[in-house]
Amino acid sequence: MYRYNDFDHGFVRERVRQFRSQVQARIDGVISEDEFKPLRLMNGLYLQLHAYMLRVAIPYGTLSSAQMRALAMISQRWDKGYGHFTTRQNIQYNWPKLRDVPDILSDLADVEMHAIQTSGNTIRNITADHFAGAARDEIADPRPYAELIRQWSTDHPEFQFLPRKFKIAVTGSSDDRAVTRAHDIGLRMARGQDGDIGFEVIVGGGLGRTPVIGEVLREFLPVQDLLPYIEAIVSVYNMLGRRDNKYKARIKITVRENGIDKIRELVEAEFILRRASFGGADQELLARIKTAFPAPDFIDAPIANFKTALAANDDFATWVETNLSPHKNPDYAIVTISLKTLGATPGDATDTQMQVMANLAEQFSHDELRVSHEQNIILPHVHKSHLAEIYARLADVQLAAANVGLASDFIACPGMDYCTLATARSIPIAQEIAARIDELKIERDVGLLKIKISGCINACGHHHLAHIGILGLDRAGVENYQITLGGDATQNAEIGKRAGPGFPADEIVSAIERLLEAYLAQRTSRTETFLETYRRIGIEPFKIALYGDGKANHAA
């Protein structure tokens, strides 16, 4: 893992010092909330429905056990004993006291973390494939490039006051687990004609009220041009992006209004100018960063006990079926720990759970954990002989839900339980759907299914990219849930189609149930997934399942 050097440490400490004096000025009444707001936003501190909320960056989703323990300690000491992992590889604390925030930031700095640029109209946390460095289908680990971009974007003097927020994601695999096509810039690693590594550069993707799948700006960008080229994109956006209407300020609108060809022309011209300002130190830095991400020192041991445990313990075998992914080392597995236990809040982990996950990572996963955009925690490098013990210890703290990739493995935004923007509740709806699916005992039969729930049009729950998306709106003071179908977050990214009128809160769970029944009735075999069935038969049969046969439009 990347470790801070003296420069990184000095930078983060200086920012904590500055923010401490700004917080003191706010508490003393020297500055108003209006004056304080841009300063707290530079440091990831939001004002939510009930309290401040602190969003802490987990760069490219990678954590050491020491960092996870610090996150647990912070939740226990300064918050209410839990934290919420987000779709952009951050953790949010929902109840910090303003006066404590500088101390929290200082505790984070102790473990080489911070909350800088997790809010505001600037380049946000750089996200990456949560299986990076472990996935079997990977060209190379994308995290050194993400770290290079992290350093370049941190405190970038031109880009702290962009027209709107700006999100960058990187993947090194052909299977896109980083949702690169729904980011302001998505970088997909590719090999050039000489076998050298570079990136396909995608621009202008995004969700929110105007969902857009990003377009390819450059088919192959050599690694040495990475920073000047991204800098060219962001500077073109900074000058051209709209500032008259915040809903039209993201780069996806800039691309749509100017056309991808015009943007490409401007970026390529700016790139020439920018490239001249990089003298080679960035590539030397990249080479040093790469040495911080070596392949783990894999152990060579028998895995017979794994097979014995599989035969002896059905619950373990069930968990293995859904929660493991293939590792590049055949004796190893990638373990996904579901944060979607029945009755829990999707994405939340208690301090005890974080401690246990940290201990497991230290003992069994080469000291590494990951946070996925699907709001789960990953142990990326687990020798198969350790799986049974890991399972048992996870089960002790309600972390052994065997539902990764299944219907109850939701993405859900915080919704009206926390968020000032929300127009409806998300978490309780997710919990009710999970409870219904559990009653029906159909989850494993249904198989691979992505349900994602947003509590407002800003789409933090990624509902546009769900096989079944749920969008909570406010209709004259009453919650109303719209359903979209057929979205896809992978390399074949697609925006889901709206099925029809929304449902009130007390009908949405049954509506989802009818969709699942329709799928089970229509699929050709157990191996045809919900999305495959949908693509084969289209939206109409699902509309009939939701609304009846064209007559009874009972959901107004």
Partner 1 sequence: MSIIVTDSGFAPAGADSHFLDIDAGHPPTDLADELNNIEAIRIEFASFADGRGFTLARQLRLMGFGGRLRARGQIMCEQYAMARRAGFDEVEISDADAVRQPQENWLARANWAAHDYQSQLRRPSS
Provide the mask over 129-168, with x wherever binding to partner 1 is found by CB under 8 A and - wherever it is not.
----------------------xx-xxxxxxxxx------
Binders in 208-227 for partner 1, by CB under 8 A: 227
Residue 18 main-chain phi, psi, to 5 deg: -60, -45
- CA–CA dist 482, 503 (Å, integer): 6
Give the single-character DSSP code of 522.
H
Q: Is residue 245 involved in binding partner 1 (CB under 8 A)? A: no
Q: Which of 14, 315, 321, 396 binds partner 1 (CB under 8 A)?
A: 14
Q: Is residue 311 involved in binding partner 1 (CB under 8 A)? A: no
Q: Is residue 255 involved in binding partner 1 (CB under 8 A)? A: no
Smallest distance, Å, CB 239 to partner 1? 6
Q: Which of 28, 195, 245, 281 binds partner 1 (CB under 8 A)?
A: 281
Smallest distance, Å, CB 230 to partner 1? 12
Q: Which of 38, 259, 294, 548 binds partner 1 (CB under 8 A)?
A: 38
Angle, CA 120 vertex, CA 114 and CA 122 arms, to 5° = 85
Smallest distance, Å, CB 238 to partner 1? 5
Query: In 10 A of CB 459, how many CB atoms?
Result: 22
Of residues 276 and 556, the one with the C-beta less far from partner 1:
276
B/e letters for 122-142, b = 16+ CB within 10 Å, e = fewer, are bbbbbbbbbbbbbbeebbbbb
Residue 403 main-chain phi, psi, to 5 deg: -135, 20
Smallest distance, Å, CB 85 to partner 1? 27
Give me the helices (H) in 339-493, please. Answer: 351-364, 387-396, 427-440, 443-446
Q: Is residue 11 involved in binding partner 1 (CB under 8 A)? A: yes
C-alpha pair distances (Å), 88 with each of 142, 267, 312, 317: 16, 26, 38, 31
Q: Is residue 125 involved in binding partner 1 (CB under 8 A)? A: no
Binders in 345-374 for partner 1, by CB under 8 A: none
Q: Is residue 288 involved in binding partner 1 (CB under 8 A)? A: no
Which uninterrupted H or E stretch holds 540? helix 540-547
Of residues 279 and 477, the one with the C-beta less far from partner 1:
279
Judge whether 49 and 419 are in contact, CB under 8 Å.
yes
Of residues 226 and 493, the one with the C-beta less far from partner 1:
226
Q: Which of 78, 59, 44 is nearest to 370 (CA)?
A: 59
Judge whether 468 and 515 are in contact, CB under 8 Å.
yes
* Torsion on CA atoms 58, 62, 65, 71, rounded to nearest 10: 10
Q: Is residue 280 involved in binding partner 1 (CB under 8 A)? A: yes
Q: Which of 282, 438, 513, 517 binds partner 1 (CB under 8 A)?
A: 282
Q: Is residue 10 involved in binding partner 1 (CB under 8 A)? A: yes
Instruction: Provide the binding-site residues for partner 1, judged by CB under 8 A.
Output: 7, 10-11, 14, 18, 38-39, 42, 121, 151-152, 154-162, 227, 235, 238-239, 243, 270, 273-274, 276-285
